[in-house]
Amino acid sequence: MIVNLVQFKYRSCFVYPLADDYRREVTKTVTITVKESDSIGHVKSLIHDHEGIPECLQRLFSKDIRLTDDEQKLMDCGIIENSTLHAYIDNSVPKVFLVKRPHANVTIMVYSRTFDTIQDVKCRIGVKEGVNSKQFSLIHDGKFLEDDKTLAFYKINGGSTLHMVSIPRDKLLISVVMPIEEIVKIEVKVTLTIRDIKTIIESRVGYSISSMDLFLGKQQLEDSKILYQCDINEESILKVKSKTIQILLKTSGGSITLDVHRHELVKDVKGMLLHKLNIPVHLQKLVFEGKSLADSRDLASCNIIMHSNIIFDFRSSVSTTII
């Protein structure tokens, strides 16, 4: 596909307030090559790359009309080949803000002024990331930021980290794998804490999981963390795991200590003993509080808790001859 390129010049006027009635203007003309489908924000980004001037300090004009929408395309502004844009540069000092992308361990930097609106910041992020500003929201300190409010309104200082969250969905439908391999689906808000998520899970399964841990892959999720901070999306699968407990198995020759989860089955414990002592599972017998433990029971249903003492017995394999 042939894409028409547009070439234009911009005249940058650097204004320095030297006195109340005097300003010194410095002009410079540079030629930039862009596509008709490029946005105003992209032009500002090119000027930043070419001249080192942060996008937030640039005010672009075409035919005395200020170009205020960074997401508007050049063709929609009537800008054609060999057009001349005028760029007036503010002399205020910008601040650097860090932006955490959703579902990625990547942080980008955005220059903005404290009196810029959240929408201004979103437009700059959108240009950098190639997404429409309407497709995401910004969150700071656990709160959604309204587009028409300024950074100063929220008292957000330079160096602060903002979090991108995809919209219009501020709710997610996620899958949770329970300890007994049951899978439940729950609808959650991205601003809830992991502790809140546990409460929602409890309402679905009908029993408490407050003493259990939630995992995303191999990462354990802290109860105080907010969902959007954990890079969880609708494709994520959370796992509920019981906290590890230590049990003591007494044998005729001494004792053995094992770290187990309460959701694990008795046969799982026997499997651990197989690897540890090389004793076949079918020859093992576990007794707790005078009762033999069935292989299909989980430890929690047997009332086994931290530091429980379990008697471990095993039978010798005896060969018999059938006549």
Chain-centre distance for alpha carbon 134: 19
In a domain, 29, yes or no: yes
56, 112 Cβ separation under 8 angstroms: yes
| pLDDT for position 264 | 83
| pLDDT for position 95 | 85
- The residue among 61, 89, 117 that closes a domain is 89
Q: In the numeric block, which tokens belong to residue 186?
A: 């729950």
147, 117 Cβ separation under 8 angstroms: yes
**Alpha-carbon torsion 127, 128, 131, 134, what sign?**
negative
Verify cis geometry, omega within 30 degrees of 0, for the bond prior to 168: yes
- The residue among 218, 242, 266 that closes a domain is 242
| pLDDT for position 308 | 94
281, 271 Cβ separation under 8 angstroms: yes
| pLDDT for position 27 | 67
Same domain, 13 and 66: yes
In a domain, 294, yes or no: yes
| pLDDT for position 310 | 95
DSSP 8-class letter at 53? -
12, 61 Cβ separation under 8 angstroms: no
In a domain, 138, yes or no: yes
**Alpha-carbon torsion 148, 152, 155, 157, what sign?**
positive
188, 152 Cβ separation under 8 angstroms: no
Q: Which residues contact 73 (CB under 8 A, 6 or more apart)?
A: 36, 37, 38, 39
Domain residues for 191?
Answer: 171-242
In a domain, 322, yes or no: no
Report the run of H or E that residue 198 belongs to, with start and end.
helix 194-205
- Residue linked to tokens 């409890």: 202
118, 147 Cβ separation under 8 angstroms: yes
Closest CA to 84 of 108, 109, 67: 67
In a domain, 253, yes or no: yes
| pLDDT for position 249 | 94
- The residue among 135, 166, 197 that closes a domain is 166
| pLDDT for position 2 | 32
In a domain, 85, yes or no: yes
**Report field, pTM of the whole predicted structure over 0.75:** no
Same domain, 160 and 183: no
| pLDDT for position 24 | 45
58-85 exposure pattern, b = at least 16 Cβ within 10 A, e = fewer: bebbbeeeebeebbeebeebebeeebeb
Q: Which residues contact 277 (CB under 8 A, 6 or more apart)?
A: 256
In a domain, 320, yes or no: no
Same domain, 53 and 76: yes
Same domain, 72 and 112: no
Number of domains observed in the structure of the chain: 4
Amino acid present at 314: F
298, 263 Cβ separation under 8 angstroms: yes
Same domain, 108 and 80: no
Same domain, 14 and 85: yes
Q: What is the CATH number of the domain that holds 187?
A: 3.10.20.90
Angle subtended at Cα 87 by Cα 84 and Cα 91, rounded to the nearest 5 degrees: 165
DSSP 8-class letter at 191? T
Chain-centre distance for alpha carbon 285: 47
| pLDDT for position 248 | 94
Same domain, 81 and 101: no
In a domain, 323, yes or no: no
Question: What's the rounded Cα separation, in Å, for the pair 46 and 207?
Answer: 57
Same domain, 121 and 177: no
Q: How are beta strands 5-19 and 254-261 bridged, if at all?
A: unpaired
Same domain, 302 and 259: yes
Same domain, 161 and 142: yes
Same domain, 145 and 126: yes
Q: In the numeric block, which tokens belong to residue 312?
A: 């471990």
Same domain, 235 and 281: no
Residue 32's DSSP bridge partners are: 8
Helices (H) and strands (E) in the chain, counts: 4, 20
| pLDDT for position 21 | 40
Per-residue pLDDT of the chain (323 residues; tens, 9 = 90+): 233 334 444 444 444 333 344 344 556 777 888 888 888 888 888 888 887 888 888 888 888 888 888 888 888 888 887 788 888 777 677 888 888 876 666 788 998 988 889 999 999 998 888 888 888 888 887 777 889 999 988 989 888 989 887 764 567 889 999 987 789 998 888 778 898 899 889 888 877 787 788 999 889 999 988 887 787 877 789 999 877 889 999 988 889 999 998 878 999 999 999 998 899 999 999 999 999 999 999 898 899 998 999 999 887 544 333 22
